[in-house]
Amino acid sequence: MRPARSTKYCHATRPERDPRVRVHHQHAELTEALETLEDAIRKIDRETRALFRNTFVAINQSFGEIFPQLFGGGEAWLMLTDEDLLFTGVTIMARPPGKRNSSIYLLSGGEKALTALSLVFAIFHLNPAPFCLLDEVDAPLDDENVGRYADAVAKMSNAVQFIYITHNKIAMERAEQLMGVTMSEPGVS
């Protein structure tokens, strides 16, 4: 017959029962988890910086090519506001034909609209969406610029389906399909 075992263990034989050992073990696990998390954050930051840099360069190049097409000349580019790519902003610089370099804030309404369209089209060159909805973006444009806008939409419509809302006769004439909305009562369409 075997002798009966004692159910009591001293701390020396069961170290997991010692609170100091448990705390030390938990601290080591937390330290390891924190290091793993910090490594993952550094990797994500590196990949995000590289992706942002490549995307910024591609959009900036396309923006610089599309802007003169919409304006019939001039130049435009994007500038970063900070060296740290994770926290930087982007400034839009534009020089329509016959004007000085300026921020988009100093442009007229029509110039702002064409500059914004240039940027939208540059983004669509990099990553086209199935469709794009433009709501009266041609409203501040003169007839010559509406023609350039319609040309750009026609050119881009090979890759993107455009739906645009307009009251401009030139833009309506250049559309492939035209759908009208009438007002049965004033202010209701």
pLDDT attached to residue 185: 79
Q: Closest by alpha carbon to 72, among 52, 46, 96, 106? A: 96
pLDDT attached to residue 54: 96
Burial of residue 108 (CB within 10 Å: 0-12, 13-18, 19+) is exposed
pLDDT attached to residue 15: 56
Identity of the residue numbered 118: S
Reading the block at residue 116, the tokens are: 């914004």
pLDDT attached to residue 186: 76
CB atoms within 10 A of CB 171: 23
What are phi and psi for residue 18, nearest 5 degrees? -75, 120
pLDDT surpasses 80 at 168 = yes
- Residues 177-186: b if buried by 16+ CB within 10 A, e if exposed: eeeeeeeeee
pLDDT attached to residue 100: 78
pLDDT attached to residue 128: 87
Mean pLDDT of 111-122: 93
What are the beta bridge partners of residue 131? 161
pLDDT digits (tens, 9 = 90+) for 6-30: 555 554 545 567 888 888 899 999 9
pLDDT attached to residue 181: 79
Q: Are 102 and 134 in contact (CB under 8 A)?
A: no
Share of the chain above pLDDT 70, in %: 90
CB atoms within 10 A of CB 96: 22
Q: Coil, strand, or helix at residue 1?
A: coil
pTM attached to this predicted model: 0.76
Reading the block at residue 43, the tokens are: 């990797």
For tokens 């049965």, the residue is: 184
